[in-house]
């Protein structure tokens, strides 16, 4: 099974900061990776698909990159509504698997 390791598991940042979240796959997954945002008590929302494609309607401050085993989600300038939890998902090999999540907190 493929393990997805997300880092960091939590981080503090300020409004306007640029932040990067990383997902590492235990084996190569090509670009079969998606990123999700989840607000407390809400349904997750897909931000990025196939590693680097921005979901329609998602602000352009979000971007994704990577291929193979290392992937990043970058938020170029944090806004107050961005301080929530993020997950990656590999959909290359069964069973599919999510990362454990990254919680962004306001510094």
Of 25, 29, 36, 78, the one binding another protein (CB under 8 A) is: 36
Distance from C-alpha of 91 to C-alpha of 15, rounded to nearest angstrom: 32
Is 91 among the residues that bind another protein (CB under 8 A)? yes
Is 99 among the residues that bind another protein (CB under 8 A)? yes
* Site map 45..64 versus another protein, x via CB under 8 A: xx--xx----x---------
Report phi then psi at 92, rounded to 5.
-100, -40
* Tokens, residue 40: 């407390």
- The CA–CA distances, whole Å, from 99 to 35, 38, 60, 76 equal 10, 13, 23, 21
Please give the residue ranges that form the binding site for another protein (CB under 8 A). 1, 32, 34, 36, 38, 43-46, 49-50, 55, 87, 89, 91, 94-101
């Amino acid at each position: 099974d493929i393990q997805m390791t997300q880092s960091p598991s939590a981080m503090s940042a300020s409004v306007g900061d640029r932040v990067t979240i990383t997902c590492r796959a235990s084996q190569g997954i090509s670009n079969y990776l998606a990123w999700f945002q989840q607000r407390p008590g809400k349904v997750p929302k897909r931000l990025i698909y196939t590693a680097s494609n921005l979901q329609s309607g998602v602000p352009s401050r979000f971007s994704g990159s990577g291929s193979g085993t290392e992937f990043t989600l970058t938020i170029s300038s944090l806004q107050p509504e961005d301080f929530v939890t993020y997950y990656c998902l590999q959909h290359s090999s069964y069973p599919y698997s999510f990362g454990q999540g990254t919680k962004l907190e306001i510094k």
